[in-house]
Chain A
C-alpha cells in the first residue's frame, strides 16, 4: 500500500510538470492549428539554458527562469515570424515538417555546444527530500509542481481575464470573424507561439533537474507530450493537465504494482479505449471552444 501511495504522489507531481511542458503545445494547436513537434527540442533547449546558467553563473534554476522564459519567448517569436507565418496552405501538415526541421537544428546546435554527454541540473532541492507519509519526495518534485500550477493558472488568467486573451480565444473560435472585428490575428499568433515556446523554458528547467538529459532526450519527450495532448484533447489546456496527471499516475502505479514492462502498455490501452469513444480526446476541441 505504501508503494502505491508513493507512486500516486510521484505521479501527480511529475504529471504537473508534464502538463506544463504539454500546455505550450496544446495552446499553439488551439490557436494556430499548428502541431509543434519541435516542442520537445525546445524543452531540452530550456533545460540546457538553465543548466548553463547554473554551471557558469551559479544562478539558481528557478531564478534563471527570469532570463530563460523571455529568451525562449523571443525564440518562439522568431520561429513564428521566420517560418510558421509563411505557411499559407496545409498549415497543419506542413507545420509538422517545419517544426521537425526546427527540432533537428536545435538538436544539432545543442550537440555542438554541449556534446551528447548526459547532464543534470543541480541545486540543493534536487536530491534533498522530505517525508510524505511513508515515502520521501524530493523538493524538486514539489517545487516543480507548484511552478506548473502557478504558470498554468497565470496562463489561464491571461487567456480569460485580459483583453489580449480574449483576442486569442476569439481567434481560436473563428479566425475570419476575429479578423473582421479588428483583431490583429497575425500578432495574436506570433505572441501565442512565443508564449507556447516560453513555457518550454519552465518545463525544461524542471525536467532537467528531475532527469539526466542530452540533446536527443527531445525525441522521447515529444512522443509523450503528443500523447498527452491527444488524450486530453488537442487545444485544451485543462485536458493537457488531466491527461498528464492520468498518464503519469497510471504508469507509476502499474510500474510498482505490476512491472515497468506493462506500465506503458496499460496507459496506451486506456488511451485507445478513450479515443474509440471520443476521437477528439477527453476535452477535445469542441469543449475548448465552449470555454
Chain B
C-alpha cells in the first residue's frame, strides 16, 4: 500500500469523479443479476470499493466477492424473501472520498446495510461514518490495530484473526523446530503501513524473545517504489529468515526478485501479502521460484468450510480461470455477505441496532470458517500458514489445517 503522491491524490479526485458517474450509471445502479420471487422492494446494500488508485487490484477482487455473494443469495430466494441489490462507488483509494461515499450511500441512497472497503486506512473513516448513522459495519479487510483502537461498537472484521496476529501461527511453527535447525538470524522489511507493519512487529517481538536475532529491520515509507537497496541490504546480512511486511504484492515481488539477483537464499521467507495473489505473484517471480515461500491466510480453496465448494464453483463459472487465480480478498468479501445474511435471517429484520447486537452475540459460518467477534469486532480465530508447493499454495500449519508439512529449508532459486 503506497501513499499517493500529491499529484496522484489530486488525479484520483478527477478520476474518481469520472468513475463515480460511470459506476453509478453503468453498473451499480443496475440491479444484481438473478431474479427471484421478491416480497417487497430489494434490500439495498451499500459499500465503497477502490476501483482506481493504489488499492484497485484488491478493490476489484473485493467487488467480485460481494457480487458472487449477492448473485448466490438472489438465486436462492433472496434475503428475508427480498432480492439483494448492491450499490457501490469507487473511492479511488482515498480516505476522504470513502467518507463521501458512505455518507451518500446512507443519506441519499438510503441503503439498508453497509459493507466495508479495502484496507485499514479506508476502513477507519468509513466505519466512523457508519457509526454516526447507527449502521453495523462488516469489513472484509482493514483489521489493523488502529481500527480496534477506535473501539467502534458497530465494527466487525470478517477474517479469522486480527491482522496483527496473522504471523503468530508462523512464529509458533518456527519455534517447534529443534534449536539446531531453527534460523538464528532474521531480516525484517516492512512498508510503513497500518496493516503490514503490526504483523511484522508482532512476529519480530516473539522471535526475538526466543533467540532469533534481528539483524536487519527497516520500515519503508509507503511512497518508495525502488526496493533494490532494501534487497541489497537484507542480502548483505545473510539472515536465515526473511519476513516481509507488504500490504500489496509489489514489495514482496521486488524483494524476492532482488534476492534472486543477489544469489541470496534464506532458509525461509514469509510475506504478509504477495504470495497470496495467485498468478500475479507466480508470474512476477517465476513459478519455479515460488517454491517454499509462505504467507498467512484465512481461506484456502481446498478447505472444508461452509459453502466453500459452492463459492469456488460460482467463482469459476463467473470469472473463469483456476482456483489459483482467486485473490484472498474475494472469499473475504464473500464471507462478509455470508455473515450478514445469517445475522439478518436470525433477527428477521434489517434493524441495524439489533444486527449489531446479534453480531456481537452469535457465531456465524463462512467460507473462511466460523466467525465470532468480541466487543471491538475482533475475530476470535486464527489464521493459518500457506506455502507454495509445486506451483500451488497449500496449508502447512497449524496441524488442523495442514495438508502437507512445511518444506524447510526453502530450496534455492532457479
Contact = CB atoms under 8 A, between A and B. Distances in A.
A218 B53 CA distance: 11
Given A6-B232, A216-B52, A256-B232, A116 B226 contact: no
Interface in A1-52: 2-3, 6-7, 10, 14, 37
Nearest to A10: B228
A118 B257 contact: no
A108 B52 CA distance: 9
B220 interface: yes
Contacts of B405: none
Contact of B263 (A129, A219, A220, A223): A129
Nearest to B252: A212
Contact of A252 (B225, B226, B253, B283): B226
A220 B218 contact: no
Interface in B222-274: 223-226, 228-230, 232-233, 236, 248-250, 253-254, 257, 260-263
Interface size band for B:
35 or more
Interface stretch (A69-77, A161-169, A229-237, A260-268): A260-268
A219 B10 CA distance: 10
Q: Is the interface of B mostly helix, strand, loop or mixed?
A: helix
Contacts of B257: 126-127
Interface stretch (B28-36, B37-45, B54-62, B96-104): B54-62
Interface stretch (A60-68, A99-107, A276-284): A99-107
Contact of A222 (B7, B56, B223): B7
B318 to A, nearest CB: 15
Nearest to B286: A127
What secondary structure prevails in chain A residues at the interface with B? helix
A100 B7 CA distance: 10
Contacts of A288: none
Given A116-B56, A118-B57, A129-B262, A219 B284 contact: no
A260 B226 CA distance: 10
B204 interface: no
Interface in A234-260: 248, 251-252, 255-256, 259-260
A263 to B, nearest CB: 7
A207 B249 CA distance: 17
A161 B212 CA distance: 63
A128 B192 CA distance: 30
Contact of B224 (A126, A214, A263): A263
A120 interface: yes
Interface in B275-308: 280, 283-284, 286
A263 B7 CA distance: 20
Given A104-B11, A261-B219, A7 B280 contact: no
A14 B284 contact: no
B4 interface: yes
Nearest to A255: B229
A34 B90 CA distance: 32
A111 B52 contact: yes
Contacts of A118: 57, 248-250, 253, 280, 284
A151 interface: no
Nearest to A41: B11
Contact of B236 (A3, A37, A260): A3
A256 B54 contact: no
A261 B221 contact: yes
Interface in B1-50: 2, 4-8, 11, 14-15, 18
Instruction: Determine which residue in B57, B228, B232, B253 has the highest number of CB atoms from chain A within 10 A of its CB, and name it.
Output: B228
A117 interface: yes
A156 interface: no
B340 to A, nearest CB: 27
A272 interface: no
Contacts of A212: 249-250, 253-254, 284
Given A7-B229, A214-B57, A260 B8 contact: no
A141 to B, nearest CB: 9
Contacts of B226: 14, 211, 248, 251-252
Contacts of B7: 37, 219, 222-223
Given A117-B57, A214-B57, A252 B284 contact: no
Interface of B: 2, 4-8, 11, 14-15, 18, 52-54, 56-57, 60, 192, 218-221, 223-226, 228-230, 232-233, 236, 248-250, 253-254, 257, 260-263, 280, 283-284, 286
Closest 7 CB pairs of A and B: A219-B8, A255-B229, A116-B56, A129-B261, A138-B261, A223-B5, A120-B284
